[in-house]
Structure 1
Amino acid sequence: MDEIIGLFPVPFMRAPATLEQALVQDLATHFSALAVRDNNSSPNLSHTEMLRPGDSPLFTEAAARIAPKLTEFGALLFGEQMPWAIKEMWVNLLDQGGRQAMHNHANSFISGVVYLTPTHPQSQTVFMKSPGGTDFAFKNEHAGTQPGPYSSDKWISPAPTPGDMVLFPSYLMHAVPPNQGKRRITMAFNAIPTRLESWGYGIQFSG
């Protein structure tokens, strides 16, 4: 019997209700007033400064709930359960009409987003293949095609509920289309393992 095998898939974790609603509300309320840094992607996008979990009791509490998921997801990436550290956290405010350009996250291995407010259906996070990758130079795109996991250029993440979290490899490109709804607030973060070892050669990271 013929068999299709997906080689080297990219893991993506969706973790519903990672943060309880009281913490979600406190994060959204507290950090909305601190999100004053402009983003060159859009005049309607602003964010807080990059903070460490210990810089805020709210971030410390959120990081403690996120930590077990990082360990679980990290085992998919590196084949071993190991301690992870969140190196930076920040909150994004995306007002109506705002968008976030395609990007990935440098100097980290796992990145994540926790949704703090409802998200308009047209403004769900979009993940996409890296440009200039291993795709064919000529594409087959027209009204009669049916894109699937092996032919699509992008994938729209499921509709989130406040408190839901997604984790993905930091190299994965992603963007947010123009927001057609009310203010969209998310908490993003980057994480690194405390140590990586390759046949006796080890690298120690400090979070």
Structure 2
Amino acid sequence: MTDEVIGLFPIPVQRSPGVLPPPLVNALVDHFTTRALQPNNSSDALSHTRMLQPSDSPLLVQAAALITPRIAEFGRHLFGEALGWAIKEMWVNVLDTGGRQAMHNHANSFASGVVYLTETHDSARTVFMKSPGGHDFALKNDHAGVATGPYNAEKWVSPAPSPGDLMLFPSYLMHAVPPNAGRRRISLAFNAIPTRLESWGYTLSFSA
């Protein structure tokens, strides 16, 4: 008999390469970079556009049409069935050299995502983290000899993305961007909600 280790209750993170084609990626960069004027408390080298609806720009309409089917696919992992989904808000992030994004999650949504619009330096790949104060041991085994694996790691660094790649994750999942040692990094972020959730006779309907 062979021992079996079972990974219970994993958190899904979906990586979808090349969701936005290069012409759309370039158009989004050209149109929105100069509109990213909102400062961020994490860093003077990080700014955002205002919160946008897909209907605010034909470019965002195109992007949402390509992203939403991937959200529906991801939603099957979150809720166990194919549901209708709507993107409730989108925004463009501009992270210059030396900028960072502090650990955070996204409120008032169920699925969140980021589309990378420029090349991303290895130093500034998105990092996903265990929630602080979560259900874990109070005393850790943490020293140079520890082999880090999926059951004891506290963070996961996403693979190096290419422009047009999409990363989807549950909105509650903590994430951050370490200091950017490379050139300007531009991304399109968004939050999404299902059109409805049903639980044993109770139905909640949502609208973006």
**Same fold by TM-score greater than 0.5:** yes
Cα distance in structure 1, aligned partners of 2:118 and 2:36: 15
CA separation in 2, counterparts of 1:83 and 1:124? 30
Cross-structure match for 2:128: 127
Q: CA deviation at 1:17?
A: 0.1
Look up the match of 1:42: 43
Indicate whether 1:182 and 2:188 are aligned.
no
Structure 2 counterpart of 1:143, which letter?
A
How far apart in 2 are the matches of 1:157 and 1:181? 17
Structure 2: gaps (5+ residues): none
Q: Please list the CA deviations of residues 136-177 of structure 1 after superposition, one character each: whole Å capped at 9, or x if unmatched.
A: 001111111111000011000000000000000000000000
1:103 alignment partner in structure 2: 104
Query: TM-score, normalising length from structure 2?
Result: 0.99
Moved over 6 A (4+): none
1:203 is aligned with what amino acid? L
Match of 2:54 in 1: 53
TM-score, length-normalised on structure 1?
A: 0.99
Aligned match of 1:8: 9
Quote the Cα distance in structure 1 between the aligned partners of 2:34 and 2:144.
46
Q: Distance in 1 between matches of 2:197 and 2:18?
A: 30
Per-residue CA deviations over 1:74-112 (Å, capped at 9, x if unaligned) read 000000101100000000000000000000000000000
> Identity rate of aligned residues, in percent?
67
The 5-angstrom pairing of residues 121-200 of structure 1 reads: 121-200=122-201
List runs of 5+ in structure 1 lacking aligned partners.
Answer: none
Query: In the aligned structure 1, how far is the partner of 2:61 from the partner of 2:27?
Result: 13
Residue 23 of structure 2 corresponds to 22
What does residue range 43-82 of structure 1 map to in structure 2 within 5 Å? 43-82=44-83
Partner of 1:93: 94
SS of the aligned residue for 1:33 comes to helix
CA distance in 1, matches of 2:37, 2:119: 21
